[in-house]
Amino acid sequence: MQNNETTGTKRFNTRMGFILFLVLFLGVCCFGKILHLVIFQRTLYNGTSSKCLDKTQEDWEQNPLAKDSTCNCYVTANNVRPVRGEIYDDQNRVLVSNVTVFDLTLDGRIFASKDTIYVHSPAKLNKLVETLSTEFYNHFKDKFPRNDLQYYHKKFYHALVEQSNVLILQSNESNEHRWVTSEDTAFINHLPMFSEKPCKRCVNYTYHTVRINPYGDLAKRTLGLNIGDRQYGIEYYFNEQLAGIEGSRKYLYVNKARLPLNEYVEPVDGYDIHTTLDLEIQSIVHNELKAKLIEWNADWGCAAVMETKTGEIKAICNLRRANRDGSDYTESDEYMLHKMVEPGSTFKIASALAYLEERHGDDNQTYPIVTHVFERKSKDGSKTYKYKKTDGKEGSEEKGYPIDIIQRSSNVGIASMVFTAFDKDYKSYLKKIDQLYITTSFSTQLGKVQAPNIKRNAKDFHTHYNTCFGAGFTMTPIQTLVYYNAIANDGKMLAPLFVKYITKAHETEPLQTFHAEVLNERICSQQTIDKARSYLKAVVTGEHGTARNYQKENLSFAGKTGTRDIWDENLKAYNYSKNSISFCGYFPADTPQYTCLVFMYNVSKKSSIAVDVFARIAERIKNTANYGALQQVNHEHGTKLPRTYVVNTAQYQLIMKQLGIAYPEDQLPVPYVTSGLREDYSVMLKKPRFKSSDKMPDVTDMIASDAVSELTRVGYQVKIKGYGVVRRQDLNTATNTVTLYLE
């Protein structure tokens, strides 16, 4: 018995010793392998070996390993895209943001591998194809109008019956009307087939981050794009700041095994761009111009509002007819900055400036304003050529002063002024216009503006005559706006400014600030400016002013009308039934705050309708800009501060400043402020319920633009119902959409 126990113990010890030996042996082998990897193969596994092809290096194709078919070690890098910066208006409301869109793929192979009721029943499978085709067609027919019912039937049949991996829908990144959004994916996921567990994996969504304009067409052309060959606007010219810096993560492939390397470069997110645009003013300009374009079925039109003292562009609109019947217009082309058009009679004030400068402010001489016979002698003086000109109809040689000529918009009159001041010397006249900086090119943050293409070497009478009133040459509308703004700004000419400053994402401290470039400190004497402003005021208030029908008691403005016939290339002549019309001016007339230009192309009526658009824009800006969130001041109980809804703090400060009301600056909460009443009916300022850190911010009592901005910032899609301020907000978690109810 004892021998058996001894024998068993020996066997056990022998086995344990053998196992211990194996463990130690394996440990030594592993340790040796580790040492071998660390000492001899370290460079191989960190991607620095001479036997490893580094595809992250420049000219890696020239490396001999690139042509070696036996090479089984190479290094690659995956780019890590940064978050693109956002674009804001001057009140920090989001104008361009990021949103996720999807491509939809259906994998019929996975579907076939699942044991569902459809797999073994061809009749049910065909019925499923019919059902899905109908559901998709009804849901997506507006977004993808080219995809008919047959398209979806073919796609689903190929995927489900023929068991293939099929791309059903693909978002068009450059067209927001062709996006598959989270709302669409929620619809798909709730369809009976795709909500069943066995089939959920059949649907694959490839996501892309694209740019979205929460306010639709407002300033869309100026905000721009930077996709493929569609490069323009702020998105293009500030792409370096918006794009950020890509990061990267390197991977090592050895014998088909992928190993992440330690080299990881964090991406640097893009900076935010803060524009000069004011969302309220932009909305006013867009809606007023669009309504008039629709009314008169114009080809296109543009308008812009410039802050007189700063050169900041508060609104810019470029609209083109979207369909043949003219029932809709869309943002298209940069007409305001780059379209070369004949300026027409708005250019008469430029000729008047040249006249006044040459005559040292003397405007007491009278000139013909209806009909006149101009005389020109031949070079040798032996012949006299006569040119009879009228302003639309025959009449006597009635005369008027320069102020009468401008308010009546007389072609004969302005040409007579120019010919007298410059002794019929065309080049001297052009030289004076050049000295006024009216005919020079300049650069903006959105590209260079071309100089007018005036015929400088022309010697014929007609070219000289036509140039005096803006005919026979072309220039961009923005140039007219810029020199009219100089007149309003006491002679100081500023280049238009579109971007005020740049910040890091969601921060307020500017990294870089921009100011309008001064093109000329004083384009002409103060005496000339004062007289020119009196002429422009007479256009609106004078007895014969071409804009007199649009003067208003509560609104003073000044400016000049412009009408030009459109040149027909086929006829090689002007088409007198088609006009380009404009009005450029500023308001208020005596203390200009804004300068505005309205231009419309191919209308049957003259410039009065452009004046109408200008007056409507000016009146609405005066009555509504910066005051939309305020209630009437309650004087009954001695209230000094007005009641207010939830309003941006910076905007509140601006309102108080413009109203001349004192307020406790050190007590203002940020970023929004609201108010309440104390027991004695005095107003107290307080912080609203809104918190920027909340996943679902409370935006009740906000104006719609601020509410949309804040909800978009945290990733929600927004729908608006009603008008006024936000009274209620509802979240649809399935679609990640917030509906705002306004009153």
What residues have CB less than 8 Å from 620, skipping those under 6 apart? Answer: 284, 288
Rg (CA), the chain: 36
Taking the mean position of all CA atoms in its chain, how far away is CA 337?
Answer: 14
Name which of 661, 676, 668, 628 is nearest 93 in CA terms.
Answer: 628
Position 635 scores a pLDDT of: 43
Judge whether 316 and 306 are in contact, CB under 8 Å.
no
Q: Which of 216, 300, 170 is nearest to 599 (CA)?
A: 300
Q: pTM for the complete prediction?
A: 0.77
Q: Return the pLDDT at 637.
A: 47
Looking at CATH, the fold of the domain delimited by 282-365+382-624 is given as Beta-lactamase (3.40.710)
pLDDT of residue 127: 86
| Pairwise CA distance, residues 286 & 277, whole Å | 12
Low-confidence ranges of the chain (pLDDT < 70): 1-5, 33, 36-50, 113-120, 195-200, 256, 262, 394-396, 624-643, 658-659, 677-683, 723
* Residue 384: strand pairing partners: 377
What Å distances lie between residue 419 and 75, 131, 352, CA to CA? 77, 79, 12
547: left (phi over 0), alpha (psi -120 to 50) or beta: alpha
Smallest CA-to-CA distance from 628 within 309, 275, 279, 303 is with 279
Helix axes 411-421, 348-358, angle to 10 degrees: 30
The pLDDT of residue 638: 46
What single string gives the DSSP state of each residue in 201-231?
GGEEEEEEEEEE-TTTTTTHHHH-EEETTEE
* pLDDT the model gives residue 37: 57
d(CA 460, CA 612): 37
